[in-house]
Amino acid sequence: MNNSLPNFREARIDDAQKITEIMSRGYHQNWEPDYYRNLISDDNSFVYVLSLVEEIVGFITGKKAEDTCDIYMIVVDIKHRRKGFANLLLHKTIIALSALQIKEFFLEVAETNNQAINLYKKYGFRAVSRRIGYYKISNENIDAIVYRLVKK
C-alpha cells in the first residue's frame, strides 16, 4: 500500500494525534495533541503533512505574519527518514507559502542538528544569528542558529 506517491496537504484537526505519535518516536520534545490542534485551527499558523495513502510520514509547522514566516519544526517519522520526504515537504511548503505572498522564511535549529542543517542549507537558507544556550537537550545547553531564506 505504501508504494504510492506521497501526498502534500494542509493538516486536519484529526491529524493531531498522529503528529504527536511521530514526535514521540523521533524528537527530543513533544506536546499534547491539543497544541497541534490549536496550530491547525489558527489562521496565522500553518501545518502541512505529507502522507502515503492514510499514513502521515512527516509534517511541518510554523507561523505567518504579513510576508514573512517562522518555521517551527519539520519532522519526518523515524521509520521513514532518508527517503527524501523532508526535502519534498520543505519544497512544497515553500511553494504553498510563496503563493500566499510570503517571501521570507526564518527558522531556528540546534547547532548540533546536522541532518536539519544540511537540509536547510540545501534549500539556500543562510545563517543570520546565534542564540546562545537556546536549547536544553539531555541537560546540555546548546546554541540555536537562526537561518533565513528570501524568495524573490
Give contact residues for ligand COA (rule: CB under 6 A).
Answer: 26-27, 73-76, 81-87, 109, 113-116, 118-119, 122
Helix (H) or strand (E) holding 96: helix 85-98
Smallest distance, Å, CB 29 to ligand COA? 9
The conformational region for residue 111 under phi > 0 = left, psi -120 to 50 = alpha, else beta, is alpha
Q: Which residues contact 54 (CB under 8 A, 6 or more apart)?
A: none
Q: Which is nearer to ligand COA, 29 or 141 (CB)?
A: 29
Smallest distance, Å, CB 98 to ligand COA? 19
**CA 85, 88, 94, 95 torsion-angle sign:** negative
Q: Which is nearer to ligand COA, 86 or 145 (CB)?
A: 86
Q: Which residues contact 129 (CB under 8 A, 6 or more apart)?
A: 145, 146
Smallest distance, Å, CB 92 to ligand COA? 12
CA separation for the pair 43, 116 (Å, rounded): 26
Smallest distance, Å, CB 50 to ligand COA? 9
CA separation for the pair 24, 22 (Å, rounded): 6
Q: Which is nearer to ligand COA, 26 or 33 (CB)?
A: 26
Question: Cell numbers 540555536 label which residue?
Answer: 144
Q: Which is nearer to ligand COA, 9 or 122 (CB)?
A: 122
Smallest distance, Å, CB 68 to ligand COA? 18
State which residue has the least CB distance to ligand COA.
86
Q: Which is nearer to ligand COA, 20 or 101 (CB)?
A: 20
